[in-house]
Homo-oligomer: A and B are copies of this chain.
Amino acid sequence: MNRITETVIEADPKLPVIRMTREFEATPEQLLRAHTDPALFARWVGPDALTTRIEEWDARTGGSWRYTSVHDGTEYRFHGCFHEVRADRIVQTFTYEGDPDGVALETLWFEDLGDGRTRLRAQSLVDSFEGRDAWLRSGMEVGVDEGYAKLDRMLADGSV
């Protein structure tokens, strides 16, 4: 069996967009739950060294979210709104409060591959190539890889 569990992260050459693709041993319903249930989401999001505390969470079309991630006593805050939450797609905004004027429009698609597998495609759109490239250079792939590995373990142990 050929199982792709690495995350492919790509910068679009013509659009200020980052795209990520990752396959999971999960149904689309499970991946949706992992992204909308606040207790589940807090357990897997971000690098291993961070602990995440949900401050606000209303994962429905027109709702909003806010969470704080803590590393060695330092707090990193994030917030956004849910433009749309539906079975095959989430569209939301994202701001890291350390860069309060920066806003990304994020889209997640859950593609059913059958056999209990789902491809997650994610797109993050910003309004400058400089901002996009700075984000890519920030080491964000560590948080993405470690976060999805935690989600893999939660799927394997029946947590989701």
Contact = CB atoms under 8 A, between A and B. Distances in A.
Interface residues on A, range: 20 to 34
Contacts of A38: none
Nearest to A17: B127
Contacts of A62: 56, 63-64, 66, 79, 81
Contacts of A95: 83-84
Interface string A81-95: 111100001010101
A21 interface: no
A66 to B, nearest CB: 8
A16 interface: yes
A70 interface: no
A54 interface: no
Say whether chain A's binding surface is mostly helix, strand, loop, or mixed: strand
Interface in A63-83: 63-64, 66, 79-83
B103 A81 contact: no
Contacts of A16: 15
Interface in A28-76: 56, 61-64, 66
A16 B101 CA distance: 19
A125 B106 CA distance: 12
A7 interface: no
Given A17-B127, A105-B125, 10 more contacts: A15-B16, A15-B127, A15-B128, A15-B129, A61-B64, A61-B79, A84-B95, A105-B127, A107-B127, A123-B127
